[in-house]
Structure formats: C-alpha cells, structure tokens
Structure 1
Amino acid sequence: MEMIQIVGLGLLATILILIIKEQKPIFAFLLAAFTGITIFLFLIGKISAVIQILEDLAVKANINMIFLKTILKIIGIAYIAEFGAQIVRDAGQESIAAKIELSGKILIMVMAIPIVTVIIETVVKLLPA
C-alpha cells in the first residue's frame, strides 16, 4: 500500500510539473525537489527500522559495531550523493551532478580504508610466513 502512495505522489507531481514547466520552470524544479524530499522523509522510518535490525544482528553475531556503523555511513553517503545528483540533474546541471557523485565516491573510499586495512591484515595473517 505504501508503494501505491509513493507512486501516486510521483505521478501527481510529474503531471503538475509537466503543466507548470512551460510557464514557471523554477516552480517545476522546486516541486520536483520537494516531491523527492517528501518521498525520502516518508521512507526514513523504514530506513530506521532496517538499521535497528542490522544492529541487533551485529550484536548477536558479535561483530564490532564500528564496522557496521562505517558500512551504514558508506551506504548513507551513496544514497545521499545519488539523491543530490538526481535533483541537480533535474535542474539541468549535469556537470555539477557528476561532481556530487565523484565526491560521494571519494568519501566512500576514505571511509572504507579502516575496513580494507582490517581485511588486508587478516589475509596477511592467514598466509604462511
């Protein structure tokens, strides 16, 4: 049922944007951005529930919470970068959207260094001396 609401909101916004775009392009862009943000806010409760389940599973599996939090931050950066890039693309600014995506990739790489380091150290310990 929630997906029907999201699709309905998206279709309604799209129709309004197509109507408004000819007369007031800035309002069409603002409506598109507002719709995207509204859909994102609608999903925050679901995202929060997924994060809580992952944290519970990590505790049960005796996984270091630092790794889980880092992975969740990496996923968050990826989603936020994609979301921001799509909004900027809607405004017709492809080059800025590409820079947002590049920034997201670089931040993900920086945040992944501790995890990669632990993986490499573990592999080195497993190799015969």
Structure 2
Amino acid sequence: MEGIKVIMAALAGVFLAAVLKSVKSEMTMLVAAGVSVLILFYILSGLSVIVEQLKMLQGYIGISGKYIGILVKMIGISYMTQLAADICRDNGQTAVAGQLEVFCKITIAALGMPVVLTLFEVVTKCIG
C-alpha cells in the first residue's frame, strides 16, 4: 500500500510540474525537489527495515558491524547522487550530473576498499 502512495505522490508532482511549466517554469524544479524529498522519507522508512534485517544477518554469520555500516553508506550515497544528478539533468546541467556520478563511483570504491582488503586477507589465509 505504501508503494501506491509513493507512486501517486510522484505522479501528482509530475502533473503539477507540467501545469506550472507553462505558468512559471522555475517552479517546476521546486516541485520536483519537494516530491523527491517526500519519496526520500518513504525510502528511509523502508531502509530501516533493511538495516534491521542486516543486523539479524550479522548476528547469524558473525560479520563485523562496520561492514553493515559501509553498505548502508554506499546505498545512501548512491541514492542521493542519483537524485542530485537527475535534478541536474532536468535543469539541463548534464555535465554537472555526469561529474556527480563519477564522484559517487570514486567515493563508493574508496568506501569499499576495507571490505576488499578483508576479503583478500581471508582468501590468502585459506590458500596459504
């Protein structure tokens, strides 16, 4: 049921932006940003459920809590970058959107390095 609410809010925002575009085109960006923030709140409520499940999984398999934190940060960075890049593209700033996406990829690679290093340590111990 939450999914339908989110879809309806998004469609209402798109239709409102389409109406406002002919009257005040600068208002369309504000409508898009407002709808995006509303959807973000729904995403955050769903993310809390995922974090709870990850914590349960962590207890079962005994992985470090820092890896769960890294995963949540990666998801957050990906979502926020996609949102910002889409808003940039909607406003004709494709170069800025592209640079945001490159920044996101580099940031996620840097965040993931401890996980990769730990994986190599485990593989090395198993082999050697």
Using the size of structure 2 for normalisation, the TM-score is: 0.91
Shift of 1:14: 1.1
Shift of 1:67: 1.4
In structure 2, the residue matched to 1:88 is 88
Matches within 5 A, 1:1-129: 1-128=1-128
What whole-Å deviation, never above 9, does each CA across 1:31-57 have from its counterpart, x for those lacking one? 011111111112321111211121122
What is the rounded CA distance, in whole Å, between the counterparts of 1:56 and 1:107 in structure 2? 27
Shift of 1:16: 1.1
The residue type equivalent to 2:46 in the other structure is K
Shift of 1:125: 2.2
Q: Runs of 5+ in structure 2 lacking a partner? A: none
| Identical aligned residues as a percent | 28
User: SS of 1:25's equivalent?
Assistant: coil
What is the rounded CA distance, in whole Å, between the counterparts of 2:74 and 2:16 in structure 1? 35
Q: Runs of 5+ in structure 1 lacking a partner? A: none
What is the rounded CA distance, in whole Å, between the counterparts of 1:86 and 1:97 in structure 2? 7
What is the rounded CA distance, in whole Å, between the counterparts of 2:124 and 2:61 in structure 1? 24
CA contact (8 A) 1:17 1:32 kept: yes
CA RMSD, aligned part only? Answer: 1.4
What is the rounded CA distance, in whole Å, between the counterparts of 2:127 and 2:118 in structure 1? 15
What is the rounded CA distance, in whole Å, between the counterparts of 2:125 and 2:60 in structure 1? 26
CA contact (8 A) 1:74 1:111 kept: yes
CA contact (8 A) 1:59 1:65 kept: no
What is the rounded CA distance, in whole Å, between the counterparts of 2:125 and 2:114 in structure 1? 17
Aligned length: 128
The residue type equivalent to 1:4 in the other structure is I
